[in-house]
Structure 1
Amino acid sequence: MLSSSVILVAFGCLSGVTTVLFGFGGGFVTVPVVYAVTASGPAAMHVAVGTSVAVMVVNAAGGTLAQYRSGRLRRDYLWPLAGYVAIGAALGAAAATAAPDGLLHLLFAVYLGITIIDSVVRRGFLNGGSPRPLGSPTASLGGVAIGAVASFLGVGGSVMTVPLLRRRGLPMAHAVAMANPLSLPVALVATTVYLSIPAADTSAGVDLLAGALLLAGSLPTIAVARRLLPRVPDRLHALAYVGLLLAALIAVLIQ
């Protein structure tokens, strides 16, 4: 039990660093580790996803406040995209509670692989470009898709919003800054769905102890990292983003 607690706190610290550097509220870090450390029974992946989105509420809220104070948030890219993300999140969370646990695990790995390949192969992510507006179809259809996929897999929206905003020409620092407020509606809606499920229903849920241990590591790390981490060059920032996704994919595949 003690070793599991230490592991969860340590990975909470890691999720704090990824929240600052990449806008991840913790999903790609917390889902694999919660699944590996607390896995038991047929609904282990569902519990890992539910715990991930609960932790993400706190991390994304803190990150949003910090980015607002820094002046990096741009309303024209956040709204109405965030509203459509919330709609999609409700659909995705409801679907996840009914999906087989094995399917959820498989789709999580597939989604990581597709995102990595897309970021490397398609032009625009690694090198950036000139800022362009999102447009109504992208904000509406894209927002619903982002929310649905993110809440279904418990990964927040950053893994889709960062590449989207990056290909719209935003620097990595600004794309990452807006990942936190765009992950927040996913985390809030999905957590509400998971917590509303009766305790006797084991098809989904939240491991409150695991979530508390993860936050014990992430919250102080976020505060320290924002003050101490140096500014990362734009292309290196994009390459590191892809590298983190690859590490998460490897962690999922070896479980």
Structure 2
Amino acid sequence: MTVLVLVLIGVLTGLTTVLFGFGGGFVTVPVIVWADAALGPAAGTVAVATSAIVMVINAAVATTATPQVVLARLRGRGTLLGLLTAGGLLGALAALAVPAAVPSWGFVIYVAVTIIDVLARPGFLRSAGLAHDDTSPRAIPTAAGAPIGAVASFLGVGGSVMTVPLLRRGGLPMGHATALANPLTLAISIPAALVFLFAQHTTNLERAVFSVGIVDLGAAALLLIGAIPVIVTLRRRPPRIPDHVHAWAYIIMLIVVLLAMLTSLL
């Protein structure tokens, strides 16, 4: 049953990677907390670590399949990408230094705050008016790269929950904002994944599907089996979704993930 659930959830992560730029983090963390519940308090840390692996692969596949005209919006943002990477490394190290419950409940709090923010502040739900402005990605300040990377890596969320609203308020339509979230997520998740793969945990992880470092590599593989075909298919034939519907779907997805995480923790 767990194997089937993980593959089916993998299909969902593929959808969220393409449609929302999540890379899998928001979906995989609650699911792995559930799947590895036998690990006790360590399940939260293992979920964040495993999520990083899933995000690296999903974001890499999605980025490769993204049209160059969209990726060109990140041209000249090398410093931002470097700071995202540095932040991702620091966040992963910090996640290892605190009790597992801290990232798990931090995840819940952050998602809740994000939902309130995108609903309360103007700029996210409105139709984009600067869709052809190549300077739109400048809506993410370079100096914000390290904090975004650190928080995203620490909580296992990948960064899209921060970058998509920023890009959206910069004038990009949801389709472009979510597509650009994937390379940004990749910059954050690569160093985090390496840290988690080589980390040693004091908790016995034998109850995980197949562990390497503190990563449940078996669970990650099952999720990716479901996700990768969906990402490749949808990137080749992207669905046409009205911009305002896409924005509301993003918010609804955040609410579903928040409830799923709370269910896993309570």
2:179 alignment counterpart: 177
Q: TM-score, normalised by structure 1?
A: 0.92
CA distance in 2, matches of 1:137, 1:16: 25
| 1:220 equivalent among 211, 229, 232 | 229
What's the % identity of the aligned pairs? 50
Once the 2 structures are TM-superposed, how far is the Cα of residue 80 of structure 1 from its aligned partner? 2.7
SS at match of 1:33: helix
Deviates more, 1:73-82 or 1:90-99: 73-82
| 1:17 equivalent among 15, 18, 26 | 15
Once the 2 structures are TM-superposed, how far is the Cα of residue 79 of structure 1 from its aligned partner? 3.4
Deviates more, 1:118-127 or 1:79-88: 79-88
**Runs of 4+ in structure 1 displaced over 4 angstroms?**
131-137, 199-204
| 1:164 equivalent among 166, 171, 176 | 166
Q: TM-score, normalised by structure 2?
A: 0.88
CA distance in 1, matches of 2:249, 2:79: 29
Once the 2 structures are TM-superposed, how far is the Cα of residue 187 of structure 1 from its aligned partner? 1.1
SS at match of 2:15: helix
1:147 alignment counterpart: 149
CA distance in 2, matches of 1:225, 1:126: 24
Q: CA RMSD in A?
A: 2.0
Q: Tell me: CA distance 1:217–1:90, structure 2 relative to 1, closer, same or farther (3 Å).
A: same
- The count of residues paired between Structure 1 and Structure 2 equals 251
1:240 matched to 2:249: yes
CA distance in 2, matches of 1:169, 1:34: 35
Q: Deviations over 1:150-198 (max 9, x none)?
A: 0001111111110011111111111111100000011101001111213
Once the 2 structures are TM-superposed, how far is the Cα of residue 21 of structure 1 from its aligned partner? 0.6
Answer yes or no: is the 8 Å Cα contact 2:124–2:169 preserved in 1.
yes
Q: Which amino acid aligns with 2:155?
A: L
Answer yes or no: is the 8 Å Cα contact 1:56–1:156 preserved in 2.
yes
Q: Deviations over 1:214-242 (max 9, x none)?
A: 01110111122334552111111111111
Unaligned 5+ residue runs, structure 1?
none
Q: Which amino acid aligns with 1:214?
A: L
Answer yes or no: is the 8 Å Cα contact 2:86–2:146 preserved in 1.
yes
Aligned pairs for 1:71-110 within 5 A: 71-73=69-71, 74-76=73-75, 78-110=77-109
Unaligned 5+ residue runs, structure 2?
206-212
